[in-house]
Structure formats: C-alpha cells, structure tokens
Amino acid sequence: MSDISIRITGRAGRITLTRPHALNAMTYEMCLAIEDAFDAWRDNDAVDLIVLDAIGDRAFCSGGDIAELYATGTKGDYAYGQKFWADEYRLNAKIFAYPKPVVSFLQGFTMGGGVGLGCHGSHRIVGETSQIAMPECGIGLLPDVGGTLMLALAPGRIGEYLGTTATRMSGADAIFAGFADSYIPELNWQKVTETLESTGDIAALDAAKIDPPASPLAAQQDEIDVLFDGETLSDILTNLHVKDSPFAQESLKKMGRMSPLAMASTIEALHRLRGPSLSIEKALDLEYRFTFRAMEHGDFLEGIRAAIIDKDRNPSWQFANMNVPTAAVAKMLQPLGKDALKLEKMT
C-alpha cells in the first residue's frame, strides 16, 4: 500500500505513514491494514515491540481522511461512516490494551484520528514541532477515537478546555495533559528508532529523553479550572462572559467557531465518564453514540462542508445562539441498542 509501510525490522514491528502530501491523514484502508499488523504481531515472538511513525516534517497524522465520509453522507448513506468509526474505534481500543510496548513518534500535527492512533500506546514521544489537538467540535463531532478518555483524565478542567476550544498542545503541554509520555529532541529520533529495532528494548527511550520545556497549558490551569468548571455549556459560557479576561475572551473566540451541539455533548460526555469506572470501552461506546448519529442528526456534514468542501469557514450550526437544549444532548448520547459499538475483535 503506497499510503503506509508495514514491515518487521530487527526486533520491531514497524508501521510508517507515508502520505506527507495529505499530512498523513489516515484512510479507512490504512486503518484496517494497521489493525491486521497489530493482530499478526501480537503472538509473534520475533516482534518485541511496535514502532509507529510517519514521513514528512509537518505531521505524524492530521486525522482521519473524511472526504469519503462526506461524499457518502450527503447521499444519505450513513452506514459507511458508522462502519468506519466502529472499525477505527476497535483499533483504538486494541492499541490501548496491546500486550507489547507500542512506541509512537509524534512530530508536527497529531490531531483527531492521529491522536487515536498515536496517543493510546504505551510510549508516546513528542519533540520540538509536536502540535497535538482534538479539533472535532470544529467539524460538528465530539472528540472521539478514545479522546474523551484522555480528556476526562486530564488535570482539573483541562479536558473541557481542550475539547471545546480545540487548542493545540505543544509537546510539553501534551505531557502535562496526559497525551504523551516523553520528550526527546527530534534530531535523535532516527538513532533511537534504530536502537529499538536492533535491541527490542524500550530502555533506549529513557536514555534519550530530556526534561520538556515549561508547559504554557500548565501555567493556565488555575484559570481554566475556574472558567470551565460548569455542568453545561451554558454554565461555562456564563463564566467566560463574566470573567472577561484576555484568556476568557480568547476562549470565547475559539468556541465561537465550534458546533454548539458538539461542545455541549463533549462537556456532558466528560462528566459522565469521570470516576472510578472510566475505561476505554466506556469512552468509545459513548463517542460512538454521537458519531453514529452525527451525519443525520448532528452538524458533521455542515462542518465538513464549511471547512473542507466549500472552505467558506461559515457553517450554519444548529443552536447557533449557543443555547443547546438538554434534550438535544441527551438524544445524541442515548444508548444505541442493537446498533451499539461492538469491540469483539479485540479478543
């Protein structure tokens, strides 16, 4: 497959995304090929660990390739997108629970589907160019691919902030928020990868990592915890309007570009997930309830039209006044019954 290179090199299973012209956006075919590789290497004694990386300086993976989702959805075919998301989520869960080390090198943009691919493994490496984000609310989705799990686990109300504003994290920010583990200067990544291949020993990562720079996100946490501490989107917007600080104004500006329904659903999802029973399975199940309905009942198709197709950056969102009824959120997140997400292939 020209979009991806899958091979065994030394002691490592190697998966390299090779679509730099498309910021390594992941197609459906790439998703299935990656899952097949993970399945094949699980019980292969020749493979001690898996290394995920990508060619090009601009992106590890900028997200899922959504052109086909739009093409099918606008024709009233919602089944293609529903199957795409179900299969992608199964891969996310498989990476999260994988019994061997999974090392990902996250240069440049790692967003949306790229987070699902690169940020569920056991060893997530960032560097100088890393920019990690969950921008789904900007296209009418809630953060998915297991993103709600990481947002729910982030310190304080960082999850609400990142999920509703799509703010990009630096490498240091990503470590602070729980989306990455180690900071290694990118000039050393090739040498580290070669050591992983030759030894199959993740000790090479500890030997190469350095202390990350200061995290701007960590410095903002106190204000974020106050402003984004609300039960609903309306509560958070009230906090932001009352505070009227430069940070609050910037947050309102970012949220003004997002789907109100998606933001309100994101906040509700994070509140439902937090607690001792949080799991990747629960997060993906809740996300799938939303994405399953996103084309027919949500803002997804309009969000893609405005951002990708017509590129007018002027979406006509539902509830554009930001007053999202509780019933609308409940409808998007209610159980799917017989259509619920199934992850049986994990076993």
Question: Which residues are catalytic, by number?
Answer: 64, 113, 136, 144
Lookup result for tokens 């969000």 = 303
**17: β partners:** 4, 54
In eight-state DSSP terms, residue 112 is T
SS3 of the chain: the string is: CCCEEEEEECCEEEEEECCHHHCCCECHHHHHHHHHHHHHHHCCCCCCEEEEEECCCCEEECCECCHHHHHHHCCCCCHHHHHHHHHHHHHHHHHHCCCCCEEEECCEEEECHHHHHHCCCCEEEECCCCEEECCHHHHCCCCCCCHHHHHHHCCCCHHHHHHHHCCCECHHHHHHHCCCCEECCHHHHHHHHHHHHHHCCCHHHHHHCECCCCCHHHHCHHHHHHHCCCCCHHHHHHHHHHHCCHHHHHHHHHHCCCCHHHHHHHHHHHHHHCCCCCCHHHHHHHHHHHHHHHHHHCCHHHHHHHHHHCCCCCCCCCCCCCCCCHHHHHHHHCCCHHHCCCCHHHC
Q: Which helix (H) or strand (E) holds 324?
A: none
Confirm if 150 and 178 have CB atoms less than 8 A apart: yes
Distances (CA, A) of 204 to 90, 111, 176, 267, 338: 30, 26, 22, 39, 46
